[in-house]
Structure 1
Amino acid sequence: MERRRYGFVVVANRLPLDRITDERGEQHWARSPGGLVSALEPIARSAGGAWVGWTGGPDDDTEPFEADGVYLRTVPLSGEEVDRYYEGQSNSTIWPLFHDAVEQPAHRREWRIAYETVNRRFAEATAEVADDGATVWVHDYQLLLLPKLLRDLRPDLRIGFFLHIPFPPVELFIQLPRRAELLRGLLGADLVGFQQPLAAQNFLRLTAQLLDLRPHGEQVEYQGRTVTARAFPISIDVSEIDRLAADPEVQAEASRLRRELGGDRRLLLGVDRLDYTKGIDQRIEAYGELLADGTVSNDEAVLVQVATPSRQRVAQYQQLRERVEREVGRINGEFGDVGRVPVQYLFQSRSREELVALYLAADVMLVTPLRDGMNLVAKEYVAARRDEGGALVLSEFTGAADELHGAFLVNPYDVEELKRGVSAALRADPEELTDRMRRMREQVWEHDVDHWAQEFLRALGRHPLSATP
């Protein structure tokens, strides 16, 4: 394809498409699920823009191509780089440390070198496709060095960066080797966006402590430029969830799930990636204690836990799976009956339609991470409840807790408090639950993913729809 340059460029670890193998063994591209793609792919398309990212496979030499009006600039990774940059520095060092070190981060020099190498390759690919004075929006923890690397190559660009996960407090961030370089990487952006105001404040404090800068308000001067750090809480494509919730086939599937999973019992639901930050093992432990002390009985309720496979090559994730499955087996063996178990555990991915059907079937949604930048599952559950029914038990350590004021907030580290939250949701008066859900739905509808994207781009000072390819 002829090389072209674009006025609006999205940069993310992954492309907005996944390579799918169908039942005939043929490969094709399909749009990736998730809020980021839902928010940005339409904007990139309407702007005639480009998206820079990895295909998701090692040693993939796919050439850049165009799909649905968006130019996709592929960035290849070797198998070794996948191990060191992605599974190593990104997911075994930065991810746990940015999630309050729920698991101990690992630090290896070869991971850091690979991380810088891949970030530089992303920067070079972006510089190649960005037009003069283009707007570039960089996303997430895999690319913390990229804004500065790109600024060095293309000082004419307007660069925004958004971090989708939490940003740690000063005392945790300073544990990172080469910490000042990561901070300088982010300062290459004109606007650095976070999920919560405290995260932006942590970032600005670090610029003072590590780089002797003098932040004022939301801004800090760096190398003759003004860098702004601000919270932009991300959201979901509410209209898509609402459309699925209104689909007769999805509603029929919800009814089937209620019959098969719950029957005459109340249905409690957890939907998470199998990740140690999600508090799945604490949640199952609390439910086991509710059964043990007689607060809940197997005849009254059932917990359905969907655990989507994640990072299965990383040892910490393998150990988590073993712990969770062992505890599920213990609880079902102790409190279950033939053909009627208290915990239905599903280690599998589910389609968007299947997830919305589960949301509709659930009487209580349990979203209890130990730490989460936002947690979009909570917002999806609220958006799906067109009937204004259901209850949400929500960890206070999520960004969503700042917005969904109708939820039953809990400290997931406190098993007794977690049990009280679940019990309160099960015993609440229906009118109270309707009032809580109505307030949460108003919040989610007024602050959808398009609102998030437009707010960020306005703060960046550029509107992508005015960009010219």
Structure 2
Amino acid sequence: MARLVVISNRVADPRKPAAGGLAVALGESLQQTGGLWFGWSGTIVEDGPTGEGEMHRQQAGKVTLATLDLSREDHDAYYLGYSNKVLWPVFHNRLDLANFDAGFIGGYRRVNQLFARKLLPLLQPDDIIWVHDYHLIPLAAELRAMGCKQKIGFFLHIPLPPQIILAAIPQHEWLMRSLFAYDVVGFQAQQDVQHFDRYVSNEAHGESLGHDRFRAWGQTVRASAFPIGIDVDEFLALTHAKEARDMHETMKREYSQRRLLLGIDRLDYSKGIPQRARAFRELLARYPENHRSATLIQIASPTREDVDAYGDIRRELESLCGAINGDYGELDWMPVRYIHRTVARKRVPGLCRAAAVGLVTPLRDGMNLVAKEYVAAQDPADPGVLVLSRFAGAAEQLKEALLVNPYDTHGTAETIQQALHMPLEERRARHQKLLARIREQDVHWWRRTFLEALRDAPGVE
């Protein structure tokens, strides 16, 4: 069996549950093949004599973890700059937040070249290489330029925006051309494939060959949707473990007279949290029967707090939650419980199970696995209702959720009211179909189908 080589911005020990579902899923194939996982170490160092950081290697069972330190200059240009101030906002349709500083792209290209140069000596002739996410889009092109002939696949975990938005990126043609150095490119949703198709046709003057094959710039690539899933059985085991049961019982006891609405997000402008708070305020204004009855628990874990846009959204959200509690709260009832910290993963299933309504309403999201975790955590005999943004990639699969436009405050409030009053029989029917779908296309299905597509790819022409 060919060895699997995974490359991502950060590396995790797949044996550790805290590494998350993605690491565990990739870890299965890595362990089976004695694989290699390569990426940034997370360490920033002052420039050494060569201007390059140190390489580190360690074993995690049969898996080799190879990581590279980055200099401050490279980290700031590649990671903080181009990845998170250009690609992240643009790919989430926020051109207004993008910073097209000319120096960022040079650092981005330099680090991808560095990764390729350090990775190449570690490769074996029959390796299968799987590159992950927007930080490393040009990595295959850099490897090919150095003579790499192995099959290379790429998976984009965030959404691909429409052609007209992609075209706003300076040197967008170089970026998109880099994708054609891969054998297989995976997207989260069919809509992303459509956006890729439009870009190839209108900007690259290429063509669709059918069967998810595209040709441009003299190269051919397969680009398909491979929606990522969760490990349903692992999450169910967490749901029935002591920490989750204790959390569920605590929430039921503390809020025995309330109906809980739950949002769990990173504090990111793509997640639509202020819009969600406004919809909840609209719900209280239009339907007074929810006073002293409905409570929104909003967990917004810290992220990228050194970027100005994140400080702005934190201040906006804290102001909104304070205003809602000031306008509607009582001595024995606060409408919004806002928590700006990370909640332990072992407690999350208990929170989900206690919530009558799960609110997953991003303005744009590649997939959003919280939606799938909420479904998995529910009691099939008395399940809650998932309210899901139509702009999340998960909406293509989870059609039995109540889909909303998060920009429509009134419409979202109306849908939340519908969720709160949905009859038990309808809730059970919707949950049964949702659970069956997330089981069918779980994280193991995702890994298996992508790697099968990559192994079946024709290879370098």
Say yes or no: does 1:57 pair with 2:53. no
Classify 1:69/1:102 alpha carbon distance in 2 versus 1 (closer, same or farther; 3 Å): same
Residues 349-364 of structure 1 aligned to structure 2 (within 5 Å): 349-364=342-357
1:449 aligns with 2:443: yes
Counterpart of 2:256? 263
- Of 179-188 and 206-215, more deviation after overlay is shown by 206-215
Answer yes or no: is the 8 Å Cα contact 2:7–2:132 preserved in 1: yes
Aligned to 2:201: 208
Structure 2 match to 1:169: 162
Preserved CA contact (<8 Å) 1:236 1:448: yes
Moved more, 103-112 or 447-456: 103-112
Unaligned ranges ≥5, structure 2:
46-52
Q: Which runs of 5+ in 1 are unaligned?
A: 1-5, 19-28, 464-469
Tell me which of 405, 409, 420 is aligned to 1:415: 409
Cα offset, 1:293, TM superposition? 2.8
Structural RMSD (CA): 1.9
Following superposition, the deviation at residue 296 of structure 1 comes to 4.7
The CA distance in 1 between the partners of 2:273 and 2:126, in whole Å, is 46
Which range is displaced more, 396-405 or 58-67?
Answer: 58-67
State the match for 1:113 in structure 2: 106
**Structure 2 Cα separation of the partners of residues 175 and 97 of structure 1:** 8
Residue 222 of structure 1 and its aligned partner are, at CA, apart by 5.3
Change (3 A) 1:249 1:93: closer
Task: Provide the residue aligned with 1:99 in structure 2.
Answer: 92
Q: Which residue of 1 aligns with 2:183?
A: 190
Assess, with a 3 A threshold, how the Cα gap between structure 1 residues 371 and 133 changes in structure 2: closer, same or farther. Answer: same
Aligned partners of 1:193 and 1:13: how far apart in 2?
17
CA distance in structure 1 between the partners assigned to 2:219 and 2:170 by the alignment: 26
CA–CA separation in structure 1 for the residues paired with 2:292 and 2:207: 61
Secondary structure of 2:34's partner?
Answer: coil
For 1:433 and 1:179, the matched residues in 2 are separated by 45
**CA 1:350–1:33 in structure 2 vs 1: closer, same or farther (change >3 Å)?**
farther
What TM-score does the superposition give when structure 1 sets the normalisation length? 0.91
Q: Deviations over 1:218-254 (max 9, x none)?
A: 2124576531111111111111101111224421221
Residue from 5, 10, 18 that aligns with 2:6:
10
Output the amino acid matched with 2:97: Q
Answer yes or no: is the 8 Å Cα contact 2:3–2:30 preserved in 1: no
- After TM superposition, the score normalised by the length of structure 2 is 0.93
User: Does residue 1:139 correspond to 2:135, yes or no?
Assistant: no
- Residue-by-residue CA offset, 1:180-205 (whole Å, 9 max, x unaligned): 11012111100011011221232233
The DSSP-based 3-state class of the residue aligned with 1:63 is strand
Change in 2 beyond 3 A, CA 1:86/1:391: same
Matching residue within 141, 159, 162 for 1:148? 141
Which residue does 1:285 correspond to in 2? 278
Q: Which deviates more from structure 2 when the two are superposed, residues 440-449 or residues 285-294?
A: 285-294
Output the CA distance in 2 between the equivalents of 1:147 and 1:132: 15
Instruction: List aligned pairs for 1:225-244, cutoff 5 A.
Output: 226-244=220-238
Partner of 1:26: none
Comparing 227-236 with 210-219, greater Cα deviation is found at 210-219
Contact residue 7 and residue 130 of structure 1 kept, 8 A: no
Q: Residue type matched to 1:323 in 2?
A: E
Distance 2:433 2:17 in 1: 32
Q: CA deviation at 1:365?
A: 0.3
Q: Deviations over 1:26-63 (max 9, x none)?
A: xxx95654332122122111110000111223227462
Moved more, 241-250 or 310-319: 241-250
Measured in 2, the distance between the counterparts of 1:223 and 1:281 equals 42
Query: Conserved in 1, the CA contact under 8 Å of 2:380 and 2:431?
Result: no
Aligned 8 A contact 1:99 1:168 in 2: yes
CA offsets 1:250-285 (integer angstroms, 9 cap, x no match):
21221102323x231000000000001100000001
C-alpha change, 1:188 and 1:273, in structure 2 (3 Å) is: same
Q: Does 1:460 align with 2:446?
A: no
Mean Cα deviation higher: 233-242 or 94-103: 94-103
Deviations 1:280-324 (Å, cap 9, x if unpaired)? Answer: 000001111221233453311100000010110000000000000
Structure 2 residue matching 1:132: 3-state secondary structure: coil
SS at match of 1:422: helix
Aligned length: 447
* 1:250 alignment partner in structure 2: 244
SS at match of 2:277: helix
CA distance in 2, matches of 1:270, 1:250: 17
Letter in 1 for 2:11: L
Residue number among 23, 31, 38 corresponding to 1:37 in the alignment: 23
1:102–1:274 CA distance, 2 compared to 1 (3 A): farther
Shift of 1:403: 0.9
| Structure 2 letter corresponding to 1:367 | V
Please give the alpha-carbon distance, in whole angstroms, between the structure 2 residues aligned to 1:322 and 1:278.
15
Deviates more, 1:153-162 or 1:61-70: 61-70
